[in-house]
Chains A and B, each alone.
Chain A
Amino acid sequence: MKSGVLKLVVKRLAVAVVTLLIVLFAVFFATSMLPGDTASILLGQAATPEAVAGLREAMHLNDPAILRFLRWLLGLLHGDLGTSYANDMPVAALIGGRFVNTMKLAGITTLISVPLALTLGITAAMLRGSLYDRTVTVLSIGVISVPEFMVATLAVLLFAVYLRWLPALSSVNEAHSLADLVRIYAMPVITLTFVISAQMIRMTRAAVIETLSTPYVEMALLKGASRSRMVLRHALPNALGPIVNAVALSLSYLVGGVIIVETIFNYPGIAKLMVDAVATRDLPLIQSCAMIFCLGYLLLITTADIIAIMSNPRLR
Chain B
Amino acid sequence: MTMARVASSRRSFLGHSYNLVGVVASLVILAWTLVAIFAPYIIPHSIGDIVDDDYFGPMRQGLWLGSDYLGRDMLSRVLMGARYTVGISLAAVSIACFSGVVLGMIAAVTGGWLDTCLSRFLDAMNSIPSKLFGLVVVAAVGSSIPVLIVTLAVIYIPGAYRFARALAVNINTMDFMTVARVRGENTVYLIGSEILPNIIRPVLADFGLRFVFVVLLLSGLSFLGLGLQPPLADWGALVRENIGGLPFAAPAVIVPSLAIASLTISVNLLIDNLPQKIRDRGV
Which of A23, A145, A157, A252 counts the most chain B CB atoms within 10 A? A145
Q: With A30-B136, A35-B141, A147-B216 in contact, do A256 and B131 touch (Cβ < 8 Å)?
A: yes
Provide the bound-state CA to CA distance between A150 and B256, in Å.
Answer: 10
Q: Which residues of A contact B130 (CB under 8 A)?
A: 256
Complex-state Cα separation, A277 to B124, whole angstroms: 25
Q: Is the CB of B129 within 8 A of A153?
A: no
Interface residues on B, range: 35 or more
- Identify which of B11-19, B89-97, B194-202, B217-225 touches chain A: B217-225
The answer to whether the Cβ of A119 comes within 8 Å of any Cβ in the partner chain is no
Q: How far is the CA of A297 from the CA of B236 in the complex (A)?
A: 25
Secondary structure call for the A interface: helix
Beta-carbon nearest neighbor of A292 in chain B = B132
Tell me if A147 and B249 are in contact (CB < 8 A): no
**Is A168 on the interface with B (CB-CB < 8 A)?**
yes
Task: Answer whether residue A33 sits at the interface, using C-beta atoms and an 8 A cutoff.
Answer: yes
Complex Cα gap A279–B226 (Å): 8
Q: How far is the CA of A97 from the CA of B127 in the complex (A)?
A: 26
Contact of B28 with A by CB under 8 A: no
* Chain B residues with CB below 8 A from A149, complex form: 219-220, 223, 236, 239
Select from chain A the residue with minimum beta-carbon distance to B223: A149
Which of A150, A153, A154, A156 has the largest number of chain B CB atoms within 10 A?
A: A150
A275 touches B (CB below 8 Å): yes
Closest to A146 in B: B261
Task: Find chain A residues with CB under 8 A from B132 CB.
Answer: 255-256, 259, 290, 293-294, 297
A267-280 CB mask vs B (1 if < 8 Å, else 0) is: 00000001101110
Chain A residues positioned under 8 Å from B188 (CB to CB): none
Contact of A145 (CB < 8 Å), options: B124, B136, B264: B264
Contact of B140 among A31, A161, A252, A275 (CB under 8 A): A31
A278: nearest chain-B partner, CB-CB: B139
Per-position binary interface string of chain B over residues 233-268, scored 1 when its CB falls under 8 Å from any chain A CB and 0 otherwise: 000100100010011110001100100110011001
Residues of B within 8 A of A281 (CB): 139
Most B CB contacts (10 A, CB to CB) among A26, A27, A147 go to A147
Instruction: List chain B residues, Cβ under 8 A from A26.
Output: 125, 128
Contact flag A279-B260 (CB < 8 Å), given A34-B140, A156-B246: no
User: What is the distance, in angstroms, from B18's C-beta to the closest C-beta of chain A?
Assistant: 19
Min C-beta distance of A145 to chain B, whole Å: 5
Judge if B113 is at the interface, Cβ distance under 8 Å: no
The 8 Å CB contact of A278, one of B127, B226, B254, B260, is B226
- Report how far A278 CA is from B239 CA in the complex, Å: 20
Does B137 belong to the interface (CB within 8 Å)? yes
Size range of the interface on A? 35 or more
Which of B140, B224, B236, B268 contacts A259, CB < 8 Å? B224
> Does A73 sit at the interface, judged by CB under 8 A?
no
Report how far A281 CA is from B140 CA in the complex, Å.
Answer: 8
CB distance from A76 to the nearest CB of B (A): 17
Residues of B contacting A275 in the complex (Cβ-Cβ under 8 angstroms):
135, 224, 226
With A168-B247, A278-B226, A297-B127 already in contact, the answer to whether A259 and B265 are too (CB < 8 A) is no
Within 8 A of A (CB), among B124-162: 124-125, 127-132, 135-142
A146 and B220 form a contact (CB under 8 A): no
Contacts of A278 in B (CB 8 A): 135, 138-139, 226
A279 to B127: give the CA distance in the assembly, Å.
Answer: 24
Q: B105 at the A/B interface (Cβ < 8 Å)?
A: no
B41 interface residue per 8 A CB criterion:
no
CA distance A161 to B214 in the complex (A): 30
In the docked arrangement, what's the CA distance between A215 and B183, Å?
44
Q: 1/0 per residue B93-131: CB within 8 Å of A?
A: 000000000000000000000000000110111011111
B129's contact among A142, A160, A293, by CB below 8 Å, is which?
A293
- Say if the beta carbon of A263 comes within 8 Å of chain B: yes
In the complex, A181 has a CB within 8 A of chain B = no
A259 touches B131 (CB 8 A): yes
- Nearest first, the 4 A-B pairs at minimum CB distance are A22-B124, A278-B139, A19-B124, A256-B131
Q: Which residues of A contact B (CB under 8 A)?
A: 15, 18-19, 22-23, 26-27, 30-35, 141-142, 144-150, 153-154, 156-157, 160-162, 168, 252, 255-256, 259-260, 263-264, 274-275, 277-279, 281, 283, 286, 290, 293-294, 297-298, 301
Having A277-B139, A293-B132, one finds 9 other A-B pairs with CB under 8 Å, namely: A15-B120, A27-B128, A142-B265, A146-B265, A147-B260, A149-B220, A149-B239, A150-B257, A294-B132
